[in-house]
Structure 1
Amino acid sequence: MLHLAACAALALALSACGANRRVESVDLPYDYRQRHPLVIADRAELLSIAVTGRSHLDGRQAADIRAFAGNYRLHGKSEVHVFVPAGTGQEPAVHATLRATQRELAAAGIPASAIATTRYSPGDGDAVPTLRLSFMKLGVTVASTCGRWPSDLASGSSTDGWTNAAYWNFGCAYQANFAAQIAEPLDLARPRQESVLDTQKRLRGIGQLRQGKDPSTVYRSTQRVEDLGQ
Protein backbone atom coordinates (compact mmCIF):
# COMPACT_ATOMS: atom_id res chain seq x y z
CA MET A 1 0.00 0.00 0.00
CA LEU A 2 2.85 2.39 0.84
CA HIS A 3 4.48 1.59 -2.51
CA LEU A 4 1.27 2.43 -4.40
CA ALA A 5 0.88 5.73 -2.54
CA ALA A 6 4.46 6.70 -3.40
CA CYS A 7 3.87 5.91 -7.08
CA ALA A 8 0.69 7.98 -7.13
CA ALA A 9 2.46 10.94 -5.52
CA LEU A 10 5.29 10.69 -8.08
CA ALA A 11 2.86 10.58 -10.98
CA LEU A 12 1.04 13.64 -9.65
CA ALA A 13 4.31 15.57 -9.31
CA LEU A 14 5.39 14.67 -12.85
CA SER A 15 2.03 15.68 -14.29
CA ALA A 16 2.62 19.23 -13.06
CA CYS A 17 5.74 19.54 -15.22
CA GLY A 18 3.90 19.61 -18.53
CA ALA A 19 5.04 22.10 -21.18
CA ASN A 20 1.55 23.56 -21.76
CA ARG A 21 -0.50 24.13 -18.62
CA ARG A 22 -3.13 26.35 -20.24
CA VAL A 23 -6.60 24.90 -20.38
CA GLU A 24 -8.81 26.35 -23.07
CA SER A 25 -12.18 27.60 -21.89
CA VAL A 26 -15.22 26.26 -23.67
CA ASP A 27 -17.41 29.18 -22.62
CA LEU A 28 -15.44 32.20 -23.86
CA PRO A 29 -12.47 32.79 -26.19
CA TYR A 30 -9.04 32.78 -24.58
CA ASP A 31 -7.77 35.70 -26.71
CA TYR A 32 -9.03 39.06 -25.38
CA ARG A 33 -9.19 40.39 -28.97
CA GLN A 34 -11.87 37.81 -29.70
CA ARG A 35 -13.79 38.50 -26.49
CA HIS A 36 -13.63 42.28 -26.99
CA PRO A 37 -13.21 42.90 -30.73
CA LEU A 38 -12.80 46.36 -32.20
CA VAL A 39 -15.64 47.49 -34.48
CA ILE A 40 -15.66 50.32 -37.03
CA ALA A 41 -18.97 52.18 -36.73
CA ASP A 42 -20.48 55.63 -37.04
CA ARG A 43 -20.32 57.75 -33.91
CA ALA A 44 -21.18 61.33 -33.02
CA GLU A 45 -18.54 64.00 -32.53
CA LEU A 46 -19.86 66.47 -29.92
CA LEU A 47 -19.02 69.99 -28.78
CA SER A 48 -20.83 72.13 -26.21
CA ILE A 49 -20.68 75.94 -26.28
CA ALA A 50 -21.84 77.68 -23.11
CA VAL A 51 -24.11 80.69 -23.51
CA THR A 52 -22.27 83.61 -21.90
CA GLY A 53 -24.51 86.55 -22.82
CA ARG A 54 -21.86 88.26 -24.93
CA SER A 55 -22.22 88.96 -28.63
CA HIS A 56 -18.91 87.21 -29.34
CA LEU A 57 -17.18 84.02 -28.30
CA ASP A 58 -14.16 83.98 -26.07
CA GLY A 59 -10.81 82.70 -27.30
CA ARG A 60 -11.29 79.21 -25.91
CA GLN A 61 -14.71 78.78 -27.49
CA ALA A 62 -13.49 80.06 -30.87
CA ALA A 63 -10.50 77.68 -30.78
CA ASP A 64 -12.79 74.77 -29.89
CA ILE A 65 -15.08 75.54 -32.84
CA ARG A 66 -12.13 75.82 -35.24
CA ALA A 67 -10.82 72.44 -34.10
CA PHE A 68 -14.35 71.00 -34.39
CA ALA A 69 -14.66 72.37 -37.93
CA GLY A 70 -11.26 71.00 -38.92
CA ASN A 71 -12.28 67.57 -37.68
CA TYR A 72 -15.52 67.85 -39.64
CA ARG A 73 -13.72 68.71 -42.88
CA LEU A 74 -11.53 65.64 -42.51
CA HIS A 75 -14.00 63.06 -41.22
CA GLY A 76 -17.55 64.46 -41.39
CA LYS A 77 -20.23 62.19 -42.86
CA SER A 78 -23.32 64.29 -42.16
CA GLU A 79 -24.46 67.85 -41.63
CA VAL A 80 -23.31 69.80 -38.62
CA HIS A 81 -26.27 69.84 -36.24
CA VAL A 82 -26.54 72.79 -33.89
CA PHE A 83 -28.97 72.13 -31.03
CA VAL A 84 -30.21 75.41 -29.53
CA PRO A 85 -31.69 75.45 -26.00
CA ALA A 86 -35.30 76.65 -25.82
CA GLY A 87 -37.33 78.03 -22.93
CA THR A 88 -34.34 79.12 -20.86
CA GLY A 89 -35.48 82.70 -20.27
CA GLN A 90 -32.19 83.88 -21.81
CA GLU A 91 -33.28 84.01 -25.43
CA PRO A 92 -31.30 87.16 -26.41
CA ALA A 93 -28.08 85.68 -25.04
CA VAL A 94 -28.81 82.32 -26.70
CA HIS A 95 -29.39 83.95 -30.10
CA ALA A 96 -26.24 86.05 -29.73
CA THR A 97 -24.17 82.95 -29.02
CA LEU A 98 -25.82 81.14 -31.93
CA ARG A 99 -24.97 83.93 -34.37
CA ALA A 100 -21.39 84.08 -33.12
CA THR A 101 -21.10 80.30 -33.50
CA GLN A 102 -22.46 80.43 -37.04
CA ARG A 103 -19.95 83.15 -37.96
CA GLU A 104 -17.09 81.08 -36.52
CA LEU A 105 -18.20 77.98 -38.44
CA ALA A 106 -18.41 79.97 -41.67
CA ALA A 107 -14.94 81.42 -41.09
CA ALA A 108 -13.66 77.87 -40.56
CA GLY A 109 -14.90 76.85 -44.01
CA ILE A 110 -18.26 75.20 -43.23
CA PRO A 111 -21.01 76.60 -45.51
CA ALA A 112 -24.47 77.42 -44.22
CA SER A 113 -25.91 74.62 -46.39
CA ALA A 114 -24.01 72.06 -44.26
CA ILE A 115 -25.46 73.37 -40.97
CA ALA A 116 -28.83 72.31 -39.55
CA THR A 117 -30.28 74.09 -36.52
CA THR A 118 -32.69 72.35 -34.13
CA ARG A 119 -34.22 73.48 -30.84
CA TYR A 120 -34.16 71.28 -27.73
CA SER A 121 -35.46 71.51 -24.18
CA PRO A 122 -32.61 71.45 -21.64
CA GLY A 123 -32.97 69.33 -18.56
CA ASP A 124 -33.31 70.51 -14.99
CA GLY A 125 -29.63 69.77 -14.36
CA ASP A 126 -28.47 72.22 -17.05
CA ALA A 127 -27.64 75.23 -14.92
CA VAL A 128 -25.98 77.01 -17.86
CA PRO A 129 -27.69 76.80 -21.29
CA THR A 130 -25.40 75.40 -23.95
CA LEU A 131 -25.37 75.10 -27.70
CA ARG A 132 -24.62 71.52 -28.68
CA LEU A 133 -22.82 70.86 -31.96
CA SER A 134 -22.51 67.40 -33.46
CA PHE A 135 -21.80 65.49 -36.64
CA MET A 136 -21.37 61.85 -37.55
CA LYS A 137 -17.97 60.33 -38.33
CA LEU A 138 -16.37 56.93 -38.54
CA GLY A 139 -15.08 55.73 -35.21
CA VAL A 140 -13.74 52.65 -33.49
CA THR A 141 -15.47 51.10 -30.52
CA VAL A 142 -15.35 47.90 -28.50
CA ALA A 143 -18.16 45.53 -29.42
CA SER A 144 -18.64 44.24 -25.88
CA THR A 145 -19.35 46.07 -22.63
CA CYS A 146 -16.46 46.52 -20.22
CA GLY A 147 -16.92 45.99 -16.51
CA ARG A 148 -18.89 42.76 -16.72
CA TRP A 149 -18.06 39.99 -14.24
CA PRO A 150 -20.26 37.01 -15.21
CA SER A 151 -18.38 34.60 -12.95
CA ASP A 152 -16.74 34.70 -9.54
CA LEU A 153 -12.96 35.02 -9.84
CA ALA A 154 -12.44 33.45 -6.43
CA SER A 155 -14.55 30.44 -7.46
CA GLY A 156 -15.38 29.66 -3.89
CA SER A 157 -18.54 27.80 -4.84
CA SER A 158 -17.44 26.23 -8.14
CA THR A 159 -14.47 24.94 -10.10
CA ASP A 160 -14.48 27.78 -12.67
CA GLY A 161 -11.19 29.18 -11.41
CA TRP A 162 -9.43 25.86 -11.95
CA THR A 163 -9.46 26.19 -15.74
CA ASN A 164 -6.52 28.66 -15.73
CA ALA A 165 -8.32 30.73 -18.38
CA ALA A 166 -8.56 34.51 -18.69
CA TYR A 167 -11.61 36.06 -17.07
CA TRP A 168 -14.21 37.84 -19.20
CA ASN A 169 -13.25 41.45 -18.44
CA PHE A 170 -9.52 40.88 -19.03
CA GLY A 171 -8.24 43.09 -21.88
CA CYS A 172 -11.44 45.12 -22.29
CA ALA A 173 -9.99 48.35 -20.86
CA TYR A 174 -6.90 47.94 -23.06
CA GLN A 175 -9.06 47.55 -26.17
CA ALA A 176 -11.14 50.61 -25.22
CA ASN A 177 -8.03 52.75 -24.72
CA PHE A 178 -6.55 51.49 -27.98
CA ALA A 179 -9.77 52.33 -29.85
CA ALA A 180 -9.78 55.87 -28.43
CA GLN A 181 -6.28 56.54 -29.82
CA ILE A 182 -6.97 55.48 -33.42
CA ALA A 183 -6.92 58.57 -35.65
CA GLU A 184 -8.04 56.85 -38.87
CA PRO A 185 -10.48 53.95 -38.33
CA LEU A 186 -10.01 52.69 -41.90
CA ASP A 187 -6.42 51.78 -41.02
CA LEU A 188 -7.92 48.75 -39.26
CA ALA A 189 -9.67 47.67 -42.47
CA ARG A 190 -6.89 48.16 -45.02
CA PRO A 191 -3.23 49.25 -45.12
CA ARG A 192 -2.18 52.59 -46.50
CA GLN A 193 -0.31 52.96 -49.76
CA GLU A 194 3.45 53.31 -49.56
CA SER A 195 4.82 56.81 -49.95
CA VAL A 196 7.31 57.83 -52.65
CA LEU A 197 10.83 56.59 -51.98
CA ASP A 198 13.68 59.03 -51.37
CA THR A 199 15.81 57.99 -54.37
CA GLN A 200 18.64 60.43 -53.71
CA LYS A 201 19.12 59.28 -50.13
CA ARG A 202 19.02 55.63 -51.18
CA LEU A 203 21.63 56.14 -53.94
CA ARG A 204 23.86 58.07 -51.54
CA GLY A 205 23.70 55.22 -49.02
CA ILE A 206 24.48 52.59 -51.67
CA GLY A 207 27.40 54.64 -52.94
CA GLN A 208 28.88 54.97 -49.46
CA LEU A 209 28.54 51.23 -48.90
CA ARG A 210 30.40 50.54 -52.14
CA GLN A 211 33.21 52.84 -50.96
CA GLY A 212 33.39 51.09 -47.59
CA LYS A 213 32.01 54.12 -45.72
CA ASP A 214 29.40 54.30 -42.98
CA PRO A 215 26.06 55.15 -44.70
CA SER A 216 24.35 56.30 -41.51
CA THR A 217 23.34 59.94 -41.08
CA VAL A 218 25.21 62.01 -38.51
CA TYR A 219 23.05 64.73 -36.95
CA ARG A 220 24.93 67.72 -35.58
CA SER A 221 23.58 70.24 -33.09
CA THR A 222 25.00 73.55 -31.92
CA GLN A 223 23.07 73.50 -28.66
CA ARG A 224 24.96 73.04 -25.45
CA VAL A 225 23.69 71.21 -22.39
CA GLU A 226 24.83 72.80 -19.17
CA ASP A 227 25.67 70.55 -16.25
CA LEU A 228 23.59 72.07 -13.44
CA GLY A 229 25.23 69.81 -10.89
CA GLN A 230 28.57 71.61 -11.12
Structure 2
Amino acid sequence: MIRIALRLTLLAASAGLAACASRGPVTTGSTYPMTVPERHPIVLSDSPRNLDVFVTGTGHIDPRQADDVDGFLTEYRRYGRGVLVLEVPRGSQVAGGAVGRTLERLRARALARGVGPREIVVAPYPVADAAVSAPVRLSFQRMQAKVAGACGLWPQDLGVTNAGFNTRNEPYWNFGCAMQSNVASQVADPVDLVRGRQEGRIDTVIRTQNLIDLRTGKDPSTTWKQDGRASVKNQVAQ
Protein backbone atom coordinates (compact mmCIF):
# COMPACT_ATOMS: atom_id res chain seq x y z
CA MET A 1 0.00 0.00 0.00
CA ILE A 2 2.85 2.35 0.79
CA ARG A 3 4.40 1.73 -2.64
CA ILE A 4 1.07 2.33 -4.38
CA ALA A 5 0.57 5.60 -2.49
CA LEU A 6 4.11 6.70 -3.36
CA ARG A 7 3.54 5.96 -7.06
CA LEU A 8 0.28 7.91 -7.04
CA THR A 9 2.05 10.87 -5.44
CA LEU A 10 4.81 10.81 -8.08
CA LEU A 11 2.25 10.59 -10.89
CA ALA A 12 0.34 13.57 -9.48
CA ALA A 13 3.52 15.61 -9.19
CA SER A 14 4.54 14.72 -12.76
CA ALA A 15 1.13 15.72 -14.07
CA GLY A 16 1.40 19.05 -12.27
CA LEU A 17 4.83 19.72 -13.75
CA ALA A 18 3.61 18.78 -17.21
CA ALA A 19 0.71 21.17 -16.85
CA CYS A 20 3.10 23.96 -15.89
CA ALA A 21 5.42 23.16 -18.78
CA SER A 22 2.58 23.19 -21.30
CA ARG A 23 1.81 26.83 -20.63
CA GLY A 24 3.24 29.24 -23.19
CA PRO A 25 5.31 32.32 -22.37
CA VAL A 26 3.43 35.19 -20.84
CA THR A 27 3.33 38.14 -23.22
CA THR A 28 2.88 41.63 -21.82
CA GLY A 29 2.15 44.78 -23.75
CA SER A 30 4.76 47.50 -24.21
CA THR A 31 4.66 50.29 -21.66
CA TYR A 32 4.38 53.93 -22.64
CA PRO A 33 7.75 55.75 -22.32
CA MET A 34 7.18 58.12 -19.43
CA THR A 35 10.53 59.94 -19.32
CA VAL A 36 11.94 62.37 -21.87
CA PRO A 37 15.15 60.34 -22.55
CA GLU A 38 13.02 57.29 -23.31
CA ARG A 39 10.87 59.12 -25.86
CA HIS A 40 13.61 61.28 -27.35
CA PRO A 41 17.04 59.72 -26.73
CA ILE A 42 20.18 61.56 -27.80
CA VAL A 43 22.37 59.48 -30.12
CA LEU A 44 25.80 60.03 -31.68
CA SER A 45 26.10 59.82 -35.45
CA ASP A 46 28.31 61.06 -38.27
CA SER A 47 26.68 63.95 -40.09
CA PRO A 48 27.86 66.86 -42.27
CA ARG A 49 28.97 70.16 -40.79
CA ASN A 50 28.48 73.11 -43.14
CA LEU A 51 29.50 76.75 -43.35
CA ASP A 52 28.31 79.12 -46.08
CA VAL A 53 30.75 81.88 -47.05
CA PHE A 54 29.04 84.56 -49.13
CA VAL A 55 30.99 86.28 -51.87
CA THR A 56 31.41 89.97 -51.01
CA GLY A 57 32.96 92.74 -53.05
CA THR A 58 35.40 91.58 -55.69
CA GLY A 59 36.13 88.31 -53.93
CA HIS A 60 37.63 89.07 -50.52
CA ILE A 61 36.64 87.58 -47.16
CA ASP A 62 35.31 90.26 -44.85
CA PRO A 63 36.37 90.23 -41.16
CA ARG A 64 32.98 88.97 -40.02
CA GLN A 65 33.14 85.85 -42.16
CA ALA A 66 36.89 85.42 -41.62
CA ASP A 67 36.26 84.74 -37.93
CA ASP A 68 33.62 82.17 -38.86
CA VAL A 69 36.02 80.44 -41.25
CA ASP A 70 38.80 80.32 -38.64
CA GLY A 71 36.47 78.74 -36.09
CA PHE A 72 35.21 76.27 -38.68
CA LEU A 73 38.76 75.24 -39.63
CA THR A 74 39.68 74.79 -35.97
CA GLU A 75 36.68 72.51 -35.54
CA TYR A 76 37.70 70.52 -38.62
CA ARG A 77 41.25 70.05 -37.33
CA ARG A 78 39.92 68.82 -33.99
CA TYR A 79 36.86 66.74 -34.88
CA GLY A 80 36.72 66.42 -38.67
CA ARG A 81 36.70 63.10 -40.48
CA GLY A 82 37.73 62.72 -44.08
CA VAL A 83 38.35 65.69 -46.34
CA LEU A 84 37.38 69.35 -46.24
CA VAL A 85 35.05 70.01 -49.18
CA LEU A 86 34.86 73.45 -50.79
CA GLU A 87 31.73 73.58 -52.95
CA VAL A 88 31.60 76.30 -55.60
CA PRO A 89 28.27 77.52 -57.04
CA ARG A 90 27.63 77.07 -60.73
CA GLY A 91 25.05 79.23 -62.46
CA SER A 92 24.73 82.03 -59.90
CA GLN A 93 24.47 85.74 -60.62
CA VAL A 94 27.82 86.42 -58.92
CA ALA A 95 30.70 86.92 -61.31
CA GLY A 96 32.93 83.89 -61.72
CA GLY A 97 36.09 85.88 -60.99
CA ALA A 98 34.83 86.95 -57.56
CA VAL A 99 33.84 83.38 -56.74
CA GLY A 100 37.24 82.09 -57.83
CA ARG A 101 39.11 84.65 -55.74
CA THR A 102 36.98 83.82 -52.70
CA LEU A 103 37.74 80.14 -53.25
CA GLU A 104 41.49 80.77 -53.44
CA ARG A 105 41.44 82.85 -50.27
CA LEU A 106 39.56 80.09 -48.46
CA ARG A 107 42.05 77.50 -49.67
CA ALA A 108 45.00 79.65 -48.59
CA ARG A 109 43.40 80.25 -45.20
CA ALA A 110 42.92 76.51 -44.70
CA LEU A 111 46.52 75.72 -45.66
CA ALA A 112 47.82 78.42 -43.31
CA ARG A 113 45.93 76.82 -40.42
CA GLY A 114 47.36 73.36 -40.84
CA VAL A 115 44.99 71.68 -43.30
CA GLY A 116 46.96 69.54 -45.75
CA PRO A 117 46.66 70.08 -49.52
CA ARG A 118 45.38 66.52 -50.00
CA GLU A 119 42.66 67.12 -47.42
CA ILE A 120 41.02 69.85 -49.51
CA VAL A 121 38.57 68.87 -52.26
CA VAL A 122 36.88 71.37 -54.58
CA ALA A 123 33.53 70.41 -56.11
CA PRO A 124 30.78 72.37 -57.90
CA TYR A 125 27.13 72.44 -56.92
CA PRO A 126 24.19 73.65 -59.04
CA VAL A 127 22.28 76.76 -58.04
CA ALA A 128 18.52 76.25 -57.98
CA ASP A 129 17.60 79.95 -58.10
CA ALA A 130 20.01 82.32 -59.82
CA ALA A 131 18.34 85.33 -58.18
CA VAL A 132 19.37 84.15 -54.71
CA SER A 133 22.89 84.74 -53.45
CA ALA A 134 24.85 81.49 -53.71
CA PRO A 135 27.73 81.07 -51.23
CA VAL A 136 30.91 79.04 -51.33
CA ARG A 137 30.10 76.14 -49.04
CA LEU A 138 32.59 74.48 -46.70
CA SER A 139 31.69 71.06 -45.30
CA PHE A 140 33.13 68.03 -43.57
CA GLN A 141 31.92 64.99 -41.68
CA ARG A 142 32.09 64.81 -37.91
CA MET A 143 30.43 62.97 -35.06
CA GLN A 144 27.53 64.99 -33.68
CA ALA A 145 24.86 64.51 -31.06
CA LYS A 146 21.24 64.66 -32.12
CA VAL A 147 17.81 63.39 -31.14
CA ALA A 148 17.05 59.99 -32.64
CA GLY A 149 13.59 60.94 -33.92
CA ALA A 150 11.90 64.01 -35.31
CA CYS A 151 10.28 66.64 -33.12
CA GLY A 152 6.80 68.00 -33.69
CA LEU A 153 4.98 64.65 -33.79
CA TRP A 154 1.58 64.44 -32.11
CA PRO A 155 0.35 60.82 -32.17
CA GLN A 156 -2.20 61.51 -29.42
CA ASP A 157 -5.05 63.98 -29.56
CA LEU A 158 -4.81 66.32 -26.59
CA GLY A 159 -8.44 67.27 -27.05
CA VAL A 160 -11.58 65.29 -26.24
CA THR A 161 -11.34 62.56 -28.88
CA ASN A 162 -8.75 60.48 -26.98
CA ALA A 163 -10.36 60.11 -23.58
CA GLY A 164 -8.26 57.10 -22.60
CA PHE A 165 -4.99 58.98 -23.01
CA ASN A 166 -6.29 62.01 -21.13
CA THR A 167 -7.55 59.99 -18.16
CA ARG A 168 -4.17 58.26 -17.74
CA ASN A 169 -2.51 61.68 -17.32
CA GLU A 170 0.60 60.63 -19.27
CA PRO A 171 3.02 63.15 -20.82
CA TYR A 172 2.32 63.82 -24.47
CA TRP A 173 4.82 62.44 -26.97
CA ASN A 174 6.40 65.71 -28.15
CA PHE A 175 7.07 66.91 -24.59
CA GLY A 176 10.82 67.45 -24.04
CA CYS A 177 11.90 66.92 -27.66
CA ALA A 178 12.92 70.55 -28.22
CA MET A 179 14.90 70.58 -24.97
CA GLN A 180 16.79 67.42 -25.96
CA SER A 181 17.56 68.91 -29.38
CA ASN A 182 18.91 72.11 -27.81
CA VAL A 183 21.11 70.17 -25.38
CA ALA A 184 22.48 68.00 -28.19
CA SER A 185 23.27 70.99 -30.42
CA GLN A 186 25.11 72.87 -27.65
CA VAL A 187 27.51 70.06 -26.70
CA ALA A 188 30.99 70.80 -28.06
CA ASP A 189 32.28 67.23 -27.71
CA PRO A 190 29.52 64.60 -28.09
CA VAL A 191 31.60 62.02 -26.21
CA ASP A 192 30.87 64.01 -23.03
CA LEU A 193 27.30 62.68 -23.25
CA VAL A 194 28.61 59.11 -23.09
CA ARG A 195 31.19 59.33 -20.30
CA GLY A 196 32.86 61.85 -18.05
CA ARG A 197 36.35 63.18 -18.58
CA GLN A 198 39.42 62.14 -16.65
CA GLU A 199 40.39 64.18 -13.63
CA GLY A 200 42.78 66.97 -14.52
CA ARG A 201 45.81 68.21 -12.65
CA ILE A 202 45.19 69.73 -9.25
CA ASP A 203 46.10 73.28 -8.35
CA THR A 204 48.85 72.58 -5.82
CA VAL A 205 49.16 76.22 -4.73
CA ILE A 206 45.50 76.56 -3.78
CA ARG A 207 45.36 73.10 -2.20
CA THR A 208 48.44 73.79 -0.09
CA GLN A 209 46.97 77.09 1.09
CA ASN A 210 43.69 75.36 1.98
CA LEU A 211 45.53 72.78 4.08
CA ILE A 212 47.43 75.53 5.89
CA ASP A 213 44.17 77.36 6.64
CA LEU A 214 42.59 74.17 8.01
CA ARG A 215 45.56 73.43 10.24
CA THR A 216 45.57 76.95 11.64
CA GLY A 217 41.81 76.97 12.24
CA LYS A 218 40.93 79.37 9.41
CA ASP A 219 38.10 79.12 6.92
CA PRO A 220 39.55 77.77 3.62
CA SER A 221 36.64 79.03 1.52
CA THR A 222 37.15 81.83 -0.97
CA THR A 223 36.16 85.29 0.20
CA TRP A 224 34.35 87.20 -2.50
CA LYS A 225 33.85 90.89 -1.81
CA GLN A 226 31.05 92.72 -3.53
CA ASP A 227 32.05 96.28 -2.70
CA GLY A 228 35.51 95.77 -1.25
CA ARG A 229 34.28 96.01 2.34
CA ALA A 230 31.92 93.08 2.95
CA SER A 231 32.14 89.43 1.93
CA VAL A 232 29.31 87.28 0.68
CA LYS A 233 29.45 85.21 3.88
CA ASN A 234 28.89 88.28 6.03
CA GLN A 235 26.04 89.45 3.85
CA VAL A 236 24.32 86.06 4.09
CA ALA A 237 24.82 85.95 7.86
CA GLN A 238 22.97 89.23 8.20
TM-score calculated relative to the size of structure 1:
0.78
State the AA in 1 paired with 2:127.
P
> Judging changes above 3 Å, is the alpha-carbon distance between structure 1 residues 80 and 155 closer, same or farther for their aligned structure 2 residues?
same
Matched, 1:176 2:181: yes
The structure-2 alpha-carbon separation of the partners of 1:163 and 1:58, relative to structure 1 and needing over 3 Å to count, comes to: same
Secondary structure at the aligned position of 2:81 is classed as: coil
Matched, 1:127 2:166: no
The answer for the alignment partner of 1:14 in structure 2 is none
Corresponding residue for residue 96 of structure 2? 91
Report the CA distance shift for 1:223/1:72 in structure 2 as closer, same or farther (over 3 A).
farther
User: Letter of the aligned partner of 1:141 in structure 2?
Assistant: K
Between 203-212 and 60-69, report the one with greater CA deviation: 203-212
SS at match of 2:61: coil
- Aligned equivalent of 2:71: 67
Letter aligned with residue 78 of structure 1: G
Corresponding residue of 2:149: 144
Question: Which amino acid is the alignment partner of residue 213 of structure 1?
Answer: K
The one-character-per-residue Cα deviations of 1:16-40 (angstroms, maximum 9, x if unpaired) are: xxxxxxxxx9553001110000001
Q: Contact 1:53/1:97 (CA < 8 Å) preserved in 2?
A: no
Which structure 1 residue ranges, 4+ long, deviate > 6 Å from structure 2?
220-224
Match of 2:38, SS? helix
Task: Give percent identity, aligned residues only.
Answer: 38
**Taking structure 1 as reference, are residues 61 and 201 closer, same or farther at Cα in structure 2, changes over 3 Å only?**
closer
Kindly indicate whether residue 216 of structure 2 is the aligned counterpart of residue 211 of structure 1: yes
Partners of 1:203 and 1:40 in 2: CA distance: 41
Two-structure CA RMSD over aligned residues (Å): 2.3
Q: Which moved more, 1:35-44 or 1:99-108?
A: 99-108
Kept in 2: contact 1:28–1:168 (CA 8 A): no
Decide whether the 8 Å contact of 1:139 with 1:185 is kept in 2. yes
Query: Shift in Å at residue 221 of structure 1?
Result: 8.4
| 1:45 partnered with 2:54 | no
Instruction: Report SS of the residue matched to 1:79.
Output: strand
Q: Which structure 2 segments of 5+ residues have no match?
A: 1-28, 230-238
Letter paired with 1:65: V
Post-superposition CA distance 1:94-122 (Å, at most 9, x none): 21221121122222222221110111111
Higher helix share: 2
Gaps of 5+ in 1: 1-24, 225-230
RCO greater where, 1 or 2, for CA within 8 Å and sep 6 or more? 1
CA positional deviation for 1:141: 0.2
1:158 Cα deviation from its structure 2 partner: 3.4
Query: Do the aligned residues in 2 keep the contact of 1:76 with 1:137 (CA within 8 Å)?
Result: yes
Q: TM-score by structure 2 length?
A: 0.76
Q: 2:206 aligns with which of 186, 201, 206?
A: 201
Pick one of 21, 31, 34 that aligns with 1:30.
34
